[in-house]
Amino acid sequence: MRTRFRIIGLGALFATALLAQGPVPFGALTSATPPDPATIVANQVARLTSLLTLTTAQATQATSIFTNALSAVTPLETTLNTDRQSLRTAVTTNPSAIDQLATSIGTLTGQIIAIQNKADAAFYAILTSTQQTTLTAHSGFGGFGGFGPGPGRP
């Protein structure tokens, strides 16, 4: 009987130690700080260059396209996150605001999707037909073009 309590006690101790480790970092083996916009774009262009063998000129154009799109999306995402938090709060404190917040979230999401897909279209236009075929064969822009997952992106 004592052995059973010792095993249960040790299990509880180990479980407590594991839970006390704190939050998981932002990415595998990285810090908890998300990358800055320039790093996000640089990583995206590096992946696209590796996949599609982009020329230096194409990589420069891609960097410009995705930087402009990310700059346009960033303030919209900030507002979107604020509206989502406000919507969660409105459920319990201000139900009359739900419709307005839901409409705002829908509008912002639509704007973000449009910006991301226009950037994808601009990038696609600078590719050769061989590169376009390669991109299409690798599931298109879902995870390759634009700047990664977000509203409207798997």
Residues 86, 104: Cα–Cα separation, whole Å: 11
> Would you state the pLDDT for residue 8?
59
Q: Which residues of the chain have pLDDT under 70?
A: 1-32, 140-154
Report domain extents, the chain: 31-137
Residues with Cβ within 8 Å of residue 100, at least 6 apart in sequence: none
> Would you state the pLDDT for residue 154?
39
